[in-house]
Amino acid sequence: MLSKSDLIKARFSEGDSVAFLYRRKTVEGTLLRLNPRRAVVKVGEESFTVPYNLLVPRSGNREKREQRLERTNWRLN
């Protein structure tokens, strides 16, 4: 059975465009790496390590994410 954090992580894949709050500002970047607890996001020349629960998907890969979640939920049942 997958944990809550695994379900949140399943929404993302490397190369997705994401946004997150940093010092009260919304920052947009690209996912470089998916670690067990946090993702590495490239913003310009900088890289940020961000927890998955703070990430908001921005890319047009919505269908892929939904299919990935459906497959995950199917495996749970």
Q: Where are the domains of the chain?
A: 4-76
CB 29 within 8 A of CB 45: no
* pLDDT of res. 9: 76
Mean pLDDT score, 67-76: 66
Q: Which residues make Cβ contacts (< 8 Å) with residue 20, sequence separation at least 6?
A: 26, 27, 29, 41, 48, 50, 54, 55, 56
- What tens digit of pLDDT does each residue of 22-41 get? 999 999 999 999 998 899 99
Q: Is the pLDDT of residue 72 over 80?
A: no
Q: Is the pLDDT of residue 73 over 80?
A: no
pTM here is: 0.73
Q: Which residues make Cβ contacts (< 8 Å) with residue 13, sequence separation at least 6?
A: 31, 34, 61, 64, 65, 68
CA angle 66, 29, 32 (to 5 degrees): 75
* pLDDT of res. 27: 95
Mean pLDDT score, 4-21: 83
- CATH code: domain 4-76 is 2.30.30.140
